[in-house]
Amino acid sequence: MLDIIKEPWPWYIAGPLIGLTVPTLLILGNKSFGISSSLRQICAACIPSNISFFKYDWKKESWNLFFVLGIFFGGMIAAQFLMNSQEIIVNPKLKAELTGYGITDYTHLVPAQLMNFESLFTIKGFIIMIVGGFLVGFGTRYAGGCTSGHSIMGLSNLQWPSLVATICFMIGGFLMANFILPLILSL
């Protein structure tokens, strides 16, 4: 039974399960699915502020904080107990390309050569972790939501802004993966 959990699920199982999240949330409580709004809730709860953006009844949407905590702890449990101790399977062509950039460790979900405390103080690590993190946060706020909120919830509700945001997410991901990331990795 645990072998089913340890292997990646095919798209035709995982996709419908993710898709069923939207009607389930709507039916159970008229709730919208999205992760990025939880950061605003955390700030509103923890930082007494005169900033109008954080002045709202965050307790009314506190279910979202439990949802995000569930994602976090579920990921921790999965990483600790359910992940195979084997190397992450990477396409051989991609592996050859990444070897040219000095990335050879595939024992974790994220290459240790990129994401570690020491690399934070290199130009490559600073760009990937700090600048990249800032751009993701800025883009999420500028787009009025994250990929899960727009691409899963917004598209299923036929919202035009979510379609535009999702198209921009996809274009940005394509440009990053194919043009910008190779430049950064070659630094």
Question: Is 103 part of a structural domain of the chain?
Answer: no
Question: Is 95 part of a structural domain of the chain?
Answer: no
Rounded Cα distance between 122 and 127, Å, is 8
Question: Is 88 part of a structural domain of the chain?
Answer: no
Kindly state whether residues 64 and 129 are assigned to the same domain.
no
Q: Tens of pLDDT along 45-65?
A: 888 778 887 788 888 888 888
Q: Tens of pLDDT along 82-132?
A: 666 677 888 999 999 999 998 998 887 788 888 889 989 999 999 999 999
Q: Are 113 and 102 in contact (CB under 8 A)?
A: yes
Question: Is 181 part of a structural domain of the chain?
Answer: yes
Rounded Cα distance between 166 and 179, Å, is 20
Left if phi > 0, otherwise alpha if psi is -120 to 50, otherwise beta: which for 126? alpha
Kindly state whether residues 133 and 76 are assigned to the same domain.
no
Q: Whole domain around residue 173: which residue ranges?
A: 114-187
Q: What is the pLDDT of residue 82?
A: 67
Please count the helices (runs of H) and the strands (runs of E) in the chain. 11, 0
Kindly state whether residues 2 and 78 are assigned to the same domain.
yes
pTM of the model: 0.77
Question: Is 136 part of a structural domain of the chain?
Answer: yes
Kindly state whether residues 123 and 60 are assigned to the same domain.
no
Which residues lie below 8 Å from residue 62, measured CB to CB, with a gap of 6+?
41
Instruction: Count up the domains in the chain and report the number.
Output: 2
Question: Is 177 part of a structural domain of the chain?
Answer: yes
Kindly state whether residues 56 and 131 are assigned to the same domain.
no
CA-to-CA separations, 73 to 77, 79, 81, in angstroms, rounded:
6, 10, 12
Q: What is the pLDDT of residue 68?
A: 87
- Residue (of 91, 82, 92, 36) closest to 61 by Cα position: 36
